Amino acid sequence: MLLSLLIFIPLLSALLIALLPESQAERFRWIALGVTLVEVVLAGLLAAGFDTTRSDYQWLEQADWITLPLGNLGVASIDYLVGVDGMNLPLVVLSAVVMLVGVVSSWHMTQRLKAYYALYLLLTGTIMGCFVALDFFLFFLFFEFMLLPMYFLIGLWGGPRREYASIKFFLYTLAGSLLILLVMIGLYLSAMDPVSTAVLAGFVTDASEVTPEVVRIVQGHMQNGQLNPAQIVHTFDMRYLADGANYLPDAFLNPAAEPIVLGLPARMLAFWAIFIGFAIKLPIVPLHTWLPDAHVEAPTPVSVVLAGVLLKIGGYGFLRIAWSFFPDGAAQYAPLLAGLGAVSIVYGGLNALAQYDLKKMIAYSSVSHMGFVLLGVASLTAEGVNGAIYQMVSHGVLSAMLFLLTGVVYDRTHDRRIDSYRGLIEPMPRYAVLTAIAFFGSLGLPGFSGFVGELFTLMGSFQSVWLPGWITAVSVLGIGLAAAYFLWTMQRMFFGRFWSRHETTTTDAHHILTDLTTREQLLLIPLALLSLVLGLYPNLIFNVTNSTVGQWILRFTVE
């Protein structure tokens, strides 16, 4: 029950904090720290027990949740279904690490601790639920619940324009959720659960007796109209929604049917709706405008979680849901999708180059780096998809480090402007070294994780039979732009004679701009080492993802 523990320990701990009196405020930090440490241990156990040679789901947990007979409309079935494979296990481990980092970086919080840590642990549980849910309804439940804690974490503990940023984040994500909800309902009405249907229709007496041959017989009877409609069990199970043979012959989203809606085949319209829903979360240009505002106004720990984990749910949704349920749409629109990824890469890089706010620069760099994720997924190649998953993990580590580094100077001066500092290497040498590591890792220096992720997404897009070569050529510009804005920031802030805008004398500035504390080093050094280890030993990720991705790619065939 490791997966259930990952979900419910944070949720129950959030409830515990909510029930404790305010006089116990000092304990809230330690409860949150203990819970996130347990999450890291549980994620480590998952990784240690994971069989990398298998492409199917492991650590499966399934229990009947809602079963409702609807007469001739069939049977409604919703399960508590969770599991991991090579696609989501790296993201589960990443989430556990980043949520722990977020708790430690929250140690200086002093206001409304009860609400803060209760919301933080609620966010932790829903994030884990999103990544391991294999029932679409369960996934959507966790996906929606993430809105609530993040909205309040930005709106109550953020900067001067926190109300604007939080409601913009909420409305953008809610709009995407509504599109996902519409498609989810359409998929549910269009597909059946062949195992439960086999039991209800009398092909077998128990689900344990169902074999692949029985499944094929049930699917054949369904396609030939030989099943009683009252015995068809509709499902949200992602495993069955990804198999076109489970779709009813007269269903709205049947791959073999071609109903036209608004001038597009229904499945293509559904694909674009669900793509937009997850593209907002990733985010992809032009649906990205909520991200810089949210990052600028969010407190440092919330920015760490937002960039390190929440954006990855968009990329994961592409892989697990949009591309898996609609492979025909993904293949047909592959050049357009990859083109959107290339636009995000270049546009995000150009905007980052123009920023004077350090946090906003990193936010736009995230838009650029997430463009590589879409490029890799759209390539429909093993290299590209493996690279996209790797890029998500790499960016999660490096972006968390970058926002922590931004928080260091902001905590000391309450100023994030790049042009407010010169020569910081003199009073803050350890800070300068770790910032250089984060910058070089993010711009793709060989030896760090950022290089591997970008290399494999570009390799996948270059050799993809679905994509023209110019998309890869345009995307390469993103690496040059990353070098420009990171190195220019490094030069402006750390080189030259020491100067700070905030004090009139050098002595006063030295007193304020002190080097990293022990707590800050404990946060930053492990992240720097992790980026280096992943860069030198990328098989730590690829060994986990390769079997699953190899099987996943088989659904895409060249016509």
DSSP conformation class of 287: S
**What's the gap between Cα 473 and its chain centre?**
26
Q: Is the dihedral of CA 278, 280, 282, 285 positive or negative?
A: positive
Q: Tokens standing for 446? A: 């060989």
Report the 3 state secondary structure along 255-321.
CCCCCEECCEEHHHHHHHHHHHHHHHHCCCCCCCCHHHHHHHHCCHHHHHHHHHHHHHHHHHHHHHH
Q: HSE of 286 in the Cβ direction (CA atoms, 13 Å)?
A: 0
Whole-number pLDDT of residue 303 = 93
Other Cβ atoms closer than 10 A to 260: 10
Q: Helix or strand or coil: residue 252?
A: coil
The average confidence (pLDDT) of the chain is 91
Distance CA 359, CA 361 (A): 5
Distance CA 227, CA 17 (A): 51
Cβ atoms of 442 and 342 within 8 Å: the answer is no
Q: Indicate the angle between helix axes 25-48 and 113-132, nearest 10 degrees.
A: 20
Reported in sequence order, the residue ranges of 333-443 that DSSP labels E, i.e. its strands, are: 421-422
The residue count for the chain: 559
Whole-number pLDDT of residue 478 = 93
Whole-number pLDDT of residue 559 = 44
Q: Indicate the angle between helix axes 113-132 and 136-145, nearest 10 degrees.
A: 160
Whole-number pLDDT of residue 33 = 95
Whole-number pLDDT of residue 384 = 95
Whole-number pLDDT of residue 415 = 87
- Which residues are paired to 133 by β-bridges? 82
Residue ranges in 495-517 assigned as alpha helix (H): 506-512
Closest by Cα among 393, 366, 375, 217 to 295: 366
Distance CA 458, CA 342 (A): 11
Distance CA 137, CA 195 (A): 18
Residue by residue, pLDDT tens for the chain (559 residues) are: 899 999 999 999 999 999 998 888 888 999 999 999 999 999 999 999 999 999 999 999 999 888 888 887 788 888 999 999 999 999 999 999 999 999 999 988 888 899 999 999 999 999 999 999 999 999 999 999 999 999 999 999 988 889 999 999 999 999 999 999 999 999 998 899 999 889 888 888 888 888 889 989 998 988 888 888 888 889 999 999 998 888 988 888 888 777 777 777 888 999 999 999 999 998 999 999 999 999 889 999 999 999 999 999 999 999 999 999 999 899 999 999 999 999 999 999 999 999 999 999 999 999 999 999 999 999 999 999 999 999 999 999 999 999 999 999 998 888 889 988 899 998 899 999 999 999 999 999 999 999 999 999 999 999 999 899 899 999 999 999 999 999 999 999 999 888 888 765 555 556 788 888 999 999 999 999 999 999 999 999 999 999 999 999 988 865 4
Q: Parallel, antiparallel, or unpaired: how do β-strands 264-265 and 260-261 relate?
A: antiparallel
Distance CA 501, CA 423 (A): 12
Whole-number pLDDT of residue 257 = 72
Other Cβ atoms closer than 10 A to 52: 16
> Following CA atoms 348, 349, 352, 354 in sequence, which dihedral angle do they give, to the nearest 10 degrees?
-110
Distance CA 386, CA 457 (A): 8
- Give the CA distances from residue 117 to residues 26, 122, 391, 429, in Å, rounded to whole numbers and listed in that order: 11, 8, 29, 33
| Residue found under tokens 């546009």 | 347
Whole-number pLDDT of residue 5 = 96
The vertex-511 CA angle with 425 and 519, nearest 5°, equals: 70
Whole-number pLDDT of residue 265 = 83
Q: Tokens standing for 349? A: 């890089």
Distance CA 31, CA 16 (A): 9
DSSP conformation class of 306: I
- Give the CA distances from residue 517 to residues 189, 506, 513, 522, in Å, rounded to whole numbers and listed in that order: 56, 21, 11, 9
**What's the gap between Cα 100 and its chain centre?**
16
